């Protein structure tokens, strides 16, 4: 077997997976920054296998991170309520409570409000006139406002929690600053939980306070997880997705000519961009065979979602963006019991966002040369830091 690889996040092309992952082998040895020797899985079938097999654990205290990311390098068990880093039965208990809150019916009921939020921000862009930073004017505030209203978080606090979230998700962030961000965000949300306990409102967090078995610490952890995931992922998909479309005149022309394609276009952008670019980590609880290799108990496997979504064995011409293409089974939201809880909300926000943006600004184009758009290769969630546009 070749020498173990190390993961780097540098990209040869802004929309392709990191160069270190581009390889034909579905599973390879991976050397981790802390000295651990594990694996990286980049094949589609193998990714589904690892993510659905209960012999692979999501527990925080068992895993190793492929890059130095403070939010993932904390030792010990996951904080209360941080269910994405737990296995059954703890994960199951939290997931059941939250699945009811994220029902398709409830997400669909949010559609008129999301449409209004999108139009309000596009109106503001039109009034201000070009050029504009699409991240600050559109992609970031829309999902931030939606998740704030859903959770019951005051939107006036957005600058505060967005700055703290940025610190938490920065690769190689200073540990002191990271701890300050964790403490600050935790204190803010703990105070909010106490407020909801005393005077519940019609929001998700208030609804969760009705479950007496959930402690304030658990509710704070749940709120932190949902707040971070609820605005960071969709914001970066809206911005990076727009960037990808603006750099592909043929595909954006197809979507502009037939806006009804937006549902399929969203799924294709999810597959093509796969913004969780450091992968999902799982640790073997016992020896497991994957693609003919023995993954030993205790070894961490990084599931490279972005590369699995480019597997030619499952997707036709996978390195090409095709808004009419087949996207069946993409893994952008993960797979198995940890599949993204808020995926339907994200889909609705993207469908509404992309449709309205292209309708309101038919002449939308980049305001700077493409290579001058700053990429988030320094973050756990990929995207663009800014997207200067004009029309």
* pLDDT of 70 above 80: no
Cβ neighbours around 167 below 10 Å, total: 19
Confidence of residue 1 (pLDDT cuts 50, 70, 90): low
- As a whole number of angstroms, the distance between CA 69 and CA 380 comes to 8
> 287: which 2 tokens?
């020896």
CA dist., res. 79 & res. 66, Å (int)? 21
Comparing 350 with 378, the larger pLDDT belongs to 350
Sheet strands (E) in 217-336: 280-284, 288-290, 293-295, 300-303
Residue 11 lies in a domain: no
Q: What is the pLDDT of residue 77?
A: 85
Nearest residue to 287 via CA among 299, 276, 275, 277: 299
- Check residue 84 and give its pLDDT: 95
| Confidence label for 36 from pLDDT (cuts 50, 70 and 90) | very high
Confidence bin at 20 (pLDDT 50/70/90) = confident
Whether residue 102 is contained in a domain is answered as yes
At 300, give phi and psi (nearest 5°): -90, 135
* Residues ≥6 apart with Cβ < 8 Å to 247: 15, 366, 370
Average pLDDT in the 28-48 region?
96
Domain with 280 in it:
19-390
Q: Residue 150: inside a domain, yes or no?
A: yes
Strand partners, 140: none
What proportion of the chain, given as a percentage, has pLDDT over 90? 77
CA distance 315 to 27: 18
DSSP-derived letter for residue 309 is: T
The answer to the question of residue 12 being in a domain is: no
Most confident range (mean pLDDT) of 95-99, 156-160, 257-261 is 257-261
Residue 334's SS3 state is coil
The answer to whether residue 9 is domain-embedded is: no
Provide the 3-class DSSP secondary structure of residue 133.
strand
> pLDDT per residue over 181-229, tens digit each?
889 999 999 999 999 999 999 999 999 999 999 999 999 999 999 999 8
Q: Alpha-carbon distance 389 to 391, whole Å? A: 7
Inside any domain, residue 227: yes
Q: Which pLDDT score, from 0 to 100, does residue 172 have?
A: 74
Total structural domains within the chain: 1
Predicted confidence band at 56 (pLDDT cuts at 50, 70, 90)?
Answer: very high
Which residues lie across from 30 on neighbouring strands?
5, 38
Q: With contact defined as beta carbons under 8 Å apart, do 27 and 293 qualify?
A: yes
Q: Residue 74's pLDDT is what?
A: 56
Using pLDDT thresholds of 50, 70 and 90, give the confidence band for residue 71: low
> Considering the domain boundaries, does residue 13 fall inside one?
no
Assign 251 a pLDDT band (cuts: 50, 70, 90).
Answer: very high
Give residue 264's pLDDT band: very low, low, confident or very high (50, 70, 90): very high
Residue 169's pLDDT is what? 83
**Least reliable range by pLDDT among 59-63, 166-170, 283-287, 328-332:** 166-170
Average pLDDT value for residue range 312-327: 94
Say which residue the tokens 């309708």 belong to.
359
Residue with tokens 């889909």: 347
Question: 170 - beta bridge partners?
Answer: 379
Residue 139, number of CB atoms within 10 A of its CB: 28
- Each residue's pLDDT tens digit, 294-312: 999 999 999 999 999 999 9
pLDDT number for residue 382: 96
pLDDT at 73 over 60: no
Burial of 212 from C-beta contacts in 10 A (0-12 / 13-18 / 19+)? exposed
CATH of the domain at 376: 1.10.630.10
In SS3 terms, 316-329 reads as CCCCCCCCCCCCCC
User: How is residue 345 written in tokens?
Assistant: 């909300």
- On whether the CB atoms of residues 19 and 10 are closer than 8 A, the answer is yes
Dist. CA 288–CA 196, nearest whole Å: 45
The confidence band for 75, taking pLDDT boundaries of 50, 70 and 90, is: low
Percentage of the chain modeled with pLDDT above 70: 98
Q: What was the pLDDT predicted at 192?
A: 94
Lowest mean per-residue pLDDT among 24-38, 59-73, 338-352, 358-372:
59-73
């Amino acid at each position: 077997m070749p020498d173990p690889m190390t993961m780097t996040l540098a990209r040869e092309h802004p929309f392709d997976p990191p160069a270190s992952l581009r390889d034909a082998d579905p599973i390879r040895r991976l050397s981790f920054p802390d000295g651990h020797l594990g694996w990286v899985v980049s094949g589609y079938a193998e990714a589904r296998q690892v993510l659905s097999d209960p012999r692979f654990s999501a527990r925080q205290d068992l895993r190793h991170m492929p890059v130095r990311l403070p939010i993932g390098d904390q030792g010990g068990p996951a904080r209360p309520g941080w269910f994405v880093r737990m296995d059954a039965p703890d994960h199951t208990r939290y997931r059941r409570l939250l699945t009811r809150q994220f029902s398709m019916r409830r997400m669909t009921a949010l559609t008129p409000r999301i449409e209004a939020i999108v139009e309000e921000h596009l109106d503001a862009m039109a009034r201000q006139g070009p050029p504009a930073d699409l991240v600050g004017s559109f992609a970031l505030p829309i999902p931030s406002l939606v998740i704030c209203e859903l959770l019951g978080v005051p939107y006036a606090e957005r600058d505060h929690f967005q700055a703290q979230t940025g610190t938490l998700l920065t690769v190689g962030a200073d540990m002191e600053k990271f701890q300050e961000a964790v403490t600050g965000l935790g204190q803010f949300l703990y105070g909010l939980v106490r407020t909801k306990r005393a005077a519940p409102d019609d929001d998700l967090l208030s609804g969760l306070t009705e479950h007496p078995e959930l402690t304030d610490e658990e509710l704070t952890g749940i709120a932190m997880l949902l707040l971070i995931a609820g605005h960071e992922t969709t914001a970066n998909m809206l911005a990076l997705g727009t960037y990808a479309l603006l750099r592909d005149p043929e595909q954006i022309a197809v979507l502009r000519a037939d806006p009804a394609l937006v549902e399929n276009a969203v799924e294709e952008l999810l597959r093509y961009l796969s913004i969780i670019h450091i992968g999902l980590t799982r640790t073997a609880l016992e020896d497991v065979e994957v693609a003919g290799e023995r993954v030993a108990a205790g070894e961490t496997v990084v599931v490279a979602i972005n590369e699995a979504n480019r597997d030619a064995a499952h997707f036709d011409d996978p390195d090409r963006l095709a808004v009419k293409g087949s996207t069946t089974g993409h893994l952008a939201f993960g797979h198995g019991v940890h599949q993204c809880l808020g995926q339907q909300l994200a889909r609705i926000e993207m469908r509404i966002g992309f449709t309205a943006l292209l309708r309101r600004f038919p002449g939308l184009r980049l305001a700077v040369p493409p290579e001058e758009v700053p990429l988030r290769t320094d973050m756990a969630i990929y995207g663009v830091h800014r997207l200067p546009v004009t029309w």
